[in-house]
Chain A
Amino acid sequence: MRNIDNRKYVIALIFIMIPLIFVVRLFYMQVVDDKWKERAAQISENKVITYPARGIVYDRNGQKLISNEVYYDIRVIPKQMDEDVDSVSLAKLLDISLEEYTKKMNKARDYSYRKSSEVVRQIPPDEFADIGPEMYKYPGFFEVERTLRIYPKPIAAHVLGYMSEVDSSDIKRDAYYKSGDMIGKSGIEKSYEQVLRGEKGVKYYLQDAIGIETDRYEDGAYDTIAQQGKSVTLTIDADLQEYGEELMRNKRGSIVVLEPSSGEVLTMISSPTYDPNLLVGRRLGQNYGELAQDTLLPLLNRSANSTYPPGSTFKTLMALIAMQEGVITEEASFPCTKSLVGCHNHPTARGVSDGVKMSCNPYFYYVTRKIIQQGKNKSHFADAAIGLDIWAEYLHSFGLGEDMKTDFPAMRYGFIPNTDFYDNEFPSKSNPYGKFGWAYSTIYSNSIGQGEVLVSPLEMANIACVMANRGHFYYPHFVKEIEDGDVPSVYTTKRKTKVEPKYFDPVVDGMWRVVHEPGGTARRARVDSLDICGKTGTAENFKMYNGKRHQLIDHSIFIAFAPKDDPKIAVSVYIENSGFGGTWAAPIASLLIEQYLTGEIKDTIKENRILEADLMPIRYQKKK
């Protein structure tokens, strides 16, 4: 019997072992493993994201450029739906086809019975006015407010940019974004995305077994309120922008207007343009497609993403560099040797001011040759290489071909060729000129702004600023004020060119005479008492058709600033394929300057001529 009495220990052992196993298991489930806590949250909590209104964008005078409007998304929780929901009338109410409705409902059920899915998104307020009162008939369906952009004035589309749904790379890059969120895709919306987007809010609800929210989780202790995005005040002058866009109607090209004393962008126009309200919400997809197919490329931001040859405007810089290098003086005179490079008929240029005024091509051929071929090396070729790099360095100090850190996405900057370029890359990488394979005679076209040099419209406006400031500039920028933030110091730092202010006087004098004196190339730009200084240019351009190079009508270029003393505005105007710079670009620039400085246009004949001009090349005219 002793043997059998021992069995009590076996039983006691079982009674202890099993609870012990349970305790270990409980410790693992409750303390060690987080899996069940996550599962519990998934089951019992409903995280509702509240979307912040995006920051408002103002112009420099406090006019709203971008504002918000409330739109409505319709969502559904399948589990809460009536079983005999009238799909036909619901689809009709929501203005979608029955097939689409069925598709959405299947997708919603596949995703989750208890969590909500989107049925229709971004219903404009006027349409929702009809839907809202009917919603009570459809349990499980509810509306969520979301704000979308509205543009009070249909201007500055390229500057402001547009918004669209995030793509997978956005989500990967920044955990803030979830599928279906909106993000700034271009322009200011993109460059100030972080400022404008605000902070999403989260509300945690407890939901019961059929997915109905019952209580706030922990009485809302973990909830956050959506924070509206910060507002941004731009340097843009909405009135000037609007006027410029009016002037540019039926013309292709770009305008950039800067304030010389600050580098602030007052206006940036790319024409043709479009109404930014077209690319909002549900309209975005279709309208974007239509704009993208337009042969006039309205979506292309010519001001920011195109570069052109600078044409004759470049001559002003050649004169400045040559004087600073000491290879010419203010009084230098060169003959108009048309055999070197073509020219128009004009009196001999006696001095830099004359040269700029008459825009004599041979004059600047000689000036630039003096910069490039300074005789620093006995070899003509080696000498050109030294000279070209000196020349390029000066041009970089004017901001040309440099990253000027402008607060604009995908900003394209120009190109200044240097020795390395001609040694290794031009005319082609496989067959370049090679070291000592070129001299000034090879590359002289650059002296008159043709050849390989390229500039952007923004850089050209900046050159006008440099002239206005007699030798310094600020990096062009769009931001004037950020709510609760600072404008980066990179925009308030004064940048000096390598040319001393004293050398600017004859060049600026020449630019004044371009507009004001008989024989000047831009007399159409003259406005009494405004002392506009400018320089015309025409840029040859080619387009490849069927492998052949076709010369197109020249681009008309004009850079200007005003008034001559104490300048307030600097402008660059490019009118594509419109011919000589003085004909179209100069009067457009002068109208902008006059409007900005005086608030009115006195010469309505000049204004009407521009407003009525249709300079769209026939070839590109949109098919009706």
Chain B
Amino acid sequence: MRGGNDKIWADVDWVLVGMYFLVVVLGVSNVYSSVYNPEKPGLFNLETEHGKQIMWIGIALFIGVIIMIVDGSLIRKLSFWAYGVLVLLLVLVLFTEPINGAKSWFGIGSFGIQPSEVAKVGVCLALSAHLAENPPPKTPLTPRISISYLMALVTQNWKTVTILAIPSLLVLLQPDAGTFIIFTSFILVLYREGYAGNVLLFLLVAVIIAVITLIVADSSFMLPLLKIKMGGKFGIVLALLFIGLAFYLLIRNFVLKRNRGGLYRALVGSIIVSILFVNFVEWGYGTFLDDHQKERIELLLGKMEDPDGKGYNVNRAKAAIGSGGFAGKGYQKATLANASQKHVPMQSTDFIFCTWSEERGFLGSAFLVIFYCVLLIKIVSVAERQRSRYTRIFAYCVAGIFFYHVMINVGMGIGLAPVIGIPLPLFSYGGSSVLTFSLLLFILIKLDSERKIVLQ
């Protein structure tokens, strides 16, 4: 089935390759600006973050060339092995000395590697391998609100759940909430592969209800007409009941009598679930989240303002981005997110978008966001042209991870997402993340280059 070595590069998607090089070059130039130290001027100086970044890109390219040379089927065969090794690393890392309160790093001299980053590659490979062999049943279970339905869901999908659950729990033990949240991006993959059709819709409604609940939770209001003071939570419950009443009236007047029964049941069920959910959110918020996580959420929701204290990071990030203006302050001319003023914390890693946006302004920041958008659509189109289920699933895994990283990293800088310390793909400084995202893209490019010969 395979051609000779000359054919390895024949079907490579050079657009994707070009996008990779564009983003890493911009990334290095931006890291250079954000950490520039006049005493260490060399671009390739390994004592600097940009120097290290170039080194990591070099390592990634080296591995990338190996990936391109080996047979794609080897990657598919090694999927679970890679998963196993990386899970082992996630276990081993828990026995290291904590750095900044988390056991996330294997240190080698002044270089470190985060297994939780690289583990993403293993999870993608294993999930792709598993789902490729186990397509969802042709006749999916009818969703019902019952224990038996839930049990059936679990028993049918326990392998998938296990593949995702093991690394998720291990990163939570570090603790590394950021990576845990990234793992939820696989919901997009499952959705694409035919699982849980309404999951996305449910999640959207759940997020909206949760946000409203948190916003009004500890406020109170006066009930109109009747002068009764009510807690915010009861307001939501009341609103849900009114929505239920409105739907009831809609169903009664516009739906055929024979169809009404099921809709009534669904309506009553969803209202009850919603009300329970509201209480759960309030209870869960108070029970599971620690104080600084609550603070981050309250800052995001605007319930708390503390621009020089707890809200320092986001306040400085927003000021840096907002002050960039339309065309930016110019390369190496940032006054907040730069190396000497250091107003923005972690400006070469988690808040790298600030330096970029301050120096390049709206033109630059919009360009970068649109660039990632185009990259995501490009990966989707690559995914959809595959005859191999494995490659398609893997492509969606890559897209989902990239999407989550961009959404959260950019979102927290502009106040649309809570502060979760995760890097901007191929842009932030960080060996592990550069390596991870490079591997994901290279494997995708390799698998895609075999799209004409791998039919299943």
- CB within 8 Å of B: which residues of A? 1, 4, 7-8, 10-12, 14-16, 18-23, 25-27, 29-31, 33, 35-37, 39-41, 43-45, 206-209, 214-215, 217
The answer, yes or no, to whether B194 is at the interface (CB within 8 Å) is yes
Question: Could you say which of A18, A20, A23, A29 has the most chain B C-beta atoms within 10 Å of its C-beta?
Answer: A29
Question: Known interface pairs A19-B370, A23-B366. Does A44 touch B377 (Cβ–Cβ under 8 Å)?
Answer: no
CA distance A503 to B427 in the complex (A): 99
Contact B366 A15 (CB under 8 A): no
A208 touching B194, Cβ below 8 Å:
no
User: Contacts of B315 on A, CB cut-off 8 Å?
Assistant: 39
Having A4-B192, A8-B192, A30-B361, one finds 10 other A-B pairs with CB under 8 Å, namely A11-B192, A15-B380, A23-B366, A26-B369, A30-B362, A36-B319, A36-B322, A39-B319, A206-B335, A214-B340
Which residues from chain B contact A45 at a C-beta distance below 8 Å? 335
B341 touches A214 (CB 8 A): yes
B342 touches A208 (CB 8 A): yes
Measured between alpha carbons, how far is A18 from B319 in the docked complex, in Å? Answer: 22
Task: Give every chain B residue within 8 A of A7 (Cβ-Cβ).
Answer: 191-192, 194, 197
B441 at the interface (CB under 8 A from A): no
Central interface residue in B323, B380, B416, by most chain A CB within 10 Å: B323
Q: How far is the CB of B264 from chain A (nearest CB, A)?
A: 27
- A524–B280 CA distance with the chains assembled, in angstroms: 107
A208/B340 contact (C-beta < 8 A), A26-B321, A37-B325 known: yes
Quick one: given A30-B325, A30-B326, A208-B341, are A23 and B335 in contact (CB under 8 Å)? no
Question: A31 to B325, Cβ gap below 8 A?
Answer: yes
Interface string of B311-325 (1 = CB under 8 A from A): 000011011111111
Contact B366 A27, beta carbon cutoff 8 Å = yes
22 residue pairs from A and B, CB less than 8 Å apart: A4-B192, A7-B194, A8-B384, A11-B191, A15-B373, A15-B377, A22-B410, A22-B411, A26-B365, A26-B366, A30-B322, A30-B326, A31-B325, A31-B362, A35-B322, A36-B319, A36-B323, A40-B323, A43-B316, A43-B343, A207-B341, A209-B342
State A525–B315 Cα separation when bound (angstroms).
Answer: 81
Bound together, the chains give a CA A528 to CA B196 distance in angstroms of: 123
CB of B377 within 8 A of CB of A30, answer no
Interface residues of B in 301-342 (CB under 8 A from A): 307, 315-316, 318-326, 335-336, 340-342
Q: Provide the bound-state CA to CA distance between A27 and B367, in Å.
A: 12
**Chain B residues near A37 (CB-CB < 8 A):** 322-323, 325
| Chain B residue nearest to A40 in the complex (CB) | B323
Q: Does B437 contact A (CB under 8 A)?
A: no
- Which one of B192, B197, B343, B396 contacts A209 once the chains associate, using CB atoms below 8 Å? B343
Known: A16-B373, A40-B336. A30 touches B343 (CB 8 A): no
Distance A29 CA – B376 CA, assembled complex (angstroms): 24
The listed residue (B192, B320, B326, B342) touching A31 by CB distance below 8 A is B326
Q: Which chain A residue has the least Cβ–Cβ distance from B326?
A: A31
Chain B residues within an 8 Å CB radius of A14: 188, 403
Residues A29 and B321 in contact, CB atoms below 8 Å apart:
yes
Instruction: List residues of chain A with CB within 8 A of the CB of B191.
Output: 7, 10-11
From A5, which residue of chain B is reached at the shortest CB distance?
B384
Q: Is the CB of B380 within 8 A of A25?
A: no
The interface residues of chain A, by DSSP majority, are classed as helix
Of A8, A11, A22, A217, which contacts B369 at CB under 8 A?
A: A22
Asked whether, in the complex, the Cβ of B200 is within 8 Å of the Cβ of A30, the reply is: no
Contacts of B366 in A (CB 8 A): 23, 26-27
A41 surroundings in chain B (CB, below 8 A): 323
Query: Nearest 10 pairs between A and B by C-beta?
Result: A36-B322, A40-B323, A19-B373, A30-B362, A40-B319, A15-B376, A29-B322, A4-B194, A39-B319, A44-B335
Cα-based distance from A10 to B321 in the complex (angstroms): 30
Pairwise interchain contact B336-A215, C-beta atoms closer than 8 A: no
Q: Is B357 an interface residue (CB 8 A)?
A: yes
Q: Could you tell me if A39 and B322 are in contact, using CB atoms closer than 8 angstroms?
A: yes
Which A residues lie within 8 Å of B234 (CB)?
A: none
Measured between beta carbons, the chain A residues less than 8 angstroms from B318 are 29, 36, 39
Does chain A have a CB within 8 A of B399? yes
A25 to B413, CA, bound (A): 11
Please measure, in the bound complex, the distance between the C-alpha atom of A25 and the C-alpha atom of B353, giving whole angstroms.
Answer: 14
Nearest CB on B from A54, distance (A): 34
- Neighbour of B320 across the interface among A27, A40, A217, CB < 8 A: A40
Chain A contacts of B188 at CB under 8 A?
11, 14
Q: Does B407 contact A (CB under 8 A)?
A: yes
CA distance A39 to B316 in the complex (A): 9
CA distance A217 to B86 in the complex (A): 49
- Tell me how far the C-beta of A7 lies from the nearest C-beta in chain B, rounded to whole angstroms: 5
Known: A15-B373, A15-B403. A206 touches B341 (CB 8 A): yes
Q: Report B's interface with A, CB cutoff 8 A.
A: 188, 191-194, 197, 200, 307, 315-316, 318-326, 335-336, 340-343, 357, 361-362, 365-366, 369-370, 372-373, 376-377, 380, 383-384, 396, 399, 403, 406-407, 410-411, 414, 416
Across the interface, name the chain A residue whose C-beta is closest to B366.
A23
- Complex CA gap A36/B325 in Å reads 9
Q: State how many angstroms separate the Cβ of B321 from the closest Cβ of chain A.
A: 6
Task: Give chain A nearest CB distance to B68 CB in angstroms.
Answer: 27
> Are A33 and B384 in contact, with the CB atoms below 8 A?
no
Given A37-B323, A209-B342, CB of A26 within 8 Å of CB of B414: yes
Residues of A within 8 A of B410 (CB): 22
- A112, B370: Cα distance in complex, Å: 40
A362 to B366, CA, bound (A): 98
Given known pairs A35-B322, A209-B343, the reply for A40 and B335 (CB within 8 Å) is yes
The reply to whether B414 and A22 contact each other, CB–CB distance below 8 Å, is: yes
Minimal Cβ-Cβ distance residue in A for B317: A36
Residues of A within 8 A of B369 (CB): 19, 22-23, 26
Q: Once the chains bind, are B324 and A30 in contact (CB under 8 Å)?
A: yes
* The residue from B307, B343, B362, B370 contacting A27, defined by CB atoms under 8 A apart: B362
Closest B residue to A112 by beta carbon equals B308
A23 to B407, CA, bound (A): 12
Please state if A30 and B365 are interface contacts (CB–CB under 8 Å).
yes
Chain B, Cβ-Cβ closest to A12: B380
* CA of A25 to CA of B362, assembled, Å: 10
Contact call B343/A44, Cβ cutoff below 8 A: yes
Nearest CB in chain A: distance from B393 CB, A: 13
Per the bound structure, the CA–CA distance linking A217 and B338 in Å amounts to 14
In whole angstroms, what is the CA distance A570 to B247 when docked? 100
Q: Give chain A nearest CB distance to B268 CB in angstroms.
A: 28
Q: A26-B362, A39-B319 are in contact. Are A208 and B343 (CB under 8 A)?
A: yes
Q: Which residues of A contact B384 (CB under 8 A)?
A: 8
Cα distance A65–B372 in the bound complex, in angstroms:
72
| Nearest A-chain residue to B316, judged by Cβ | A43
Task: Name the distance in Å between B110's Cβ and chain A's nearest Cβ.
Answer: 25
Contacts of A23 in B (CB 8 A): 366, 369-370
User: What separation, in Å, do the CA atoms of A33 and B372 have in the docked complex?
Assistant: 25
Q: Give chain A nearest CB distance to B190 CB in angstroms.
A: 10
Q: In the complex, A209→B344 CA distance in Å?
A: 8
For the complex, give the distance between the alpha carbons of A35 and B416 in Å: 17
CB contacts (< 8 Å) of A29 on chain B: these are: 318, 321-322, 414
Q: Which of A30, A31, A39 has the most CB of B within 10 A?
A: A30
Q: Within the assembled complex, what's the spacing in Å between the Cα atoms of A23 and B365? A: 8
Q: How far is the CB of B55 from chain A (nearest CB, A)?
A: 29
Contacts of B307 in A (CB 8 A): 39
A15 to B188, CA, bound (A): 11
B50 to chain A, nearest CB (A): 21
Chain A residues near B396: list those with CB within 8 A: 11
What is the CB-to-nearest-CB distance from A248 to chain B, in angstroms, rounded to a whole number? Answer: 61
A19 to B, closest residue via Cβ: B373
Contact A25 B340 (CB under 8 A): no
CB-nearest residue of chain A to B383: A8
Docked-complex contact A43 and B321, CB < 8 angstroms: no
- Chain B nearest Cβ from A268, distance in angstroms: 55
In the assembled complex, which residues on chain B have CB atoms less than 8 Å from the CB atom of A209?
A: 341-343
Contact A21 B416 (CB under 8 A): yes
Contacts of A206 in B (CB 8 A): 335, 341
Give A23 to B362 CA distance when docked, in angstroms.
Answer: 8
Question: What are the residues of chain B within 8 A of A39 when measuring CB–CB?
Answer: 307, 315, 318-319, 322-323
